[in-house]
Amino acid sequence: MAQIVLDRLTAQFSGGEIIEVGSSRGNEWARIKREAWVTVCKFLRDDPATKMDMFIDLTAVDRMGLRTFPEDAPRFDVVLHLYSVGHKHRVRLYCGVPEEDPSVDTLVSVWEGVNWFEREAYDLYGVRFKGHPDLRRILMYPEFVGHPLRKDYPKEKRQPLVRRQAGTRE
């Protein structure tokens, strides 16, 4: 359904920026090299055959421990969903981000709306976005330590800000 997007990508970028493309269950996807993240996205937005003008979603996935994922692959994946209102096709882009240097370039210059989504990925996963104008926590409070959606953060570990005196009427 969106095979044209993958074809245009593989035709335009032949220098190894596109690591892999595929299609499963009606979703077309492509895995992009970290260094080419912004270039590929700009191309997808501007090329008339793909014209991905609508930004849909940006998130991160922590694949540590996922047994269907190769061991030597980078721990985090930044996942981007794009849509074209004119052509009505979608694509999903992956960008592997290693644990030792969890950073990737920001896409704020391509679609303004990624601002808050990147802040959320930083807040919950710890992936830093280089060049982001305002990278701070969005869902958790600033005093929170750690990145809660990582697989090694226990679900019930609370970091309370305030508690009242137990056993009193205060």
Partner 1 sequence: MGFEFHTTSLQAAVNWARKWSLFQYPFVTACCGMEFMSVAASKYDIARFGAEFPRFSPRQADLLIIVGTITERQGPALRRIYDQMCEPKWVVAFGVCASTGGFYQNYGTMPGADQVVPVDVYIPGCPPRPEQVLDGLMLLQDRIQKGEGHSQITIAAERGYDVPIAAIRPKELKGP
Partner 2 sequence: MSDSNDHDSHLVPPTRRVVLGFKDAEDLDVPDLPTEPLPLNMGPSHPAMHGTVRMVLEVEGEKISTADIQIGYLHRCFEKESEAATYTQIFPYTDRLNYISPMLNNIGYAMAVEKLLGISDELPERVKYIRVIVGELARISDHLTCLGASAMELGAFTVFLYALKAREWLFELLEEICGARLTVSYMRIGGVAADMTEEWGAQLLAVLPRVREVMSDISKLLDRNRIFRDRMDGIGIITKEDALAYGITGPVGRSTGLAYDVRKDHPYLVYDRFDFDVPVGSVGDNFDRYAVRVEEILQSMRIIEQAVPTIPAGRFMHPDPRVTLPPKSETYNSIEAMIAHFKLIMDGIHVPPGEIYSFTEAGNGELGFYIVADGTGRPWKCRVRPPCFPATAVLGKVLPGLFIADVVPTFGMINMIGGECDR
Contact residues toward partner 2 (CB under 8 A) are 24-27, 29, 53-57, 59, 61-62, 66-68, 79, 81, 85, 88, 90, 92, 111-113, 115-117, 124, 137-141, 148-149, 155
Neighbours of 23 (CB within 10 A): 14
- Least separation in angstroms between residue 146's CB and partner 1 is 9
The one-character DSSP state at 164 is: P
Q: Which is nearer to partner 1, 70 or 167 (CB)?
A: 167
The least distance separating partner 1 from the CB of residue 143, rounded to whole angstroms, comes to: 9
Q: What are the backbone angles phi and psi of residue 164, rounded to the nearest 5°?
A: -90, 170
Q: How many amino acids of this chain bind partner 1 (CB under 8 A)? A: 20
Report the distance separating Cα 57 and Cα 13, nearest Å. 23
Distance CA(156)–CA(118), nearest Å, equals 25
Q: Between residue 108 and residue 147, which ones bind partner 1 under the rule CB under 8 A? A: 139-141
Pick one of partner 2, partner 1, none as the site partner of residue 21 (Cβ within 5 to 8 A by kind): none
Name the minimum Å distance from CB 167 to partner 2: 27
Q: Which is nearer to partner 1, 33 or 137 (CB)?
A: 137
How far is the C-alpha of 97 from the C-alpha of 99, rounded, in Å?
7
Report the distance separating Cα 14 and Cα 54, nearest Å. 25
Task: Name the residue nearer to partner 2 (CB basis): 16 or 65.
Answer: 65
Helical ranges in the chain per DSSP H: 3-12, 37-46, 114-125
Q: Which one of partner 1, partner 2, none is in contact with 27 (Cβ closer than 5 to 8 A by kind)?
A: partner 2
Residue 79's SS3 state is strand
| Token pair for 166 | 């137990």
- Planar angle of CA 31, 19, 95, nearest 5 degrees: 35
Least separation in angstroms between CB 60 and partner 2: 9
156 binds partner 1 (CB under 8 A): yes
Positions that interact with partner 1 (CB under 8 A): 139-141, 148, 153-164, 167-170
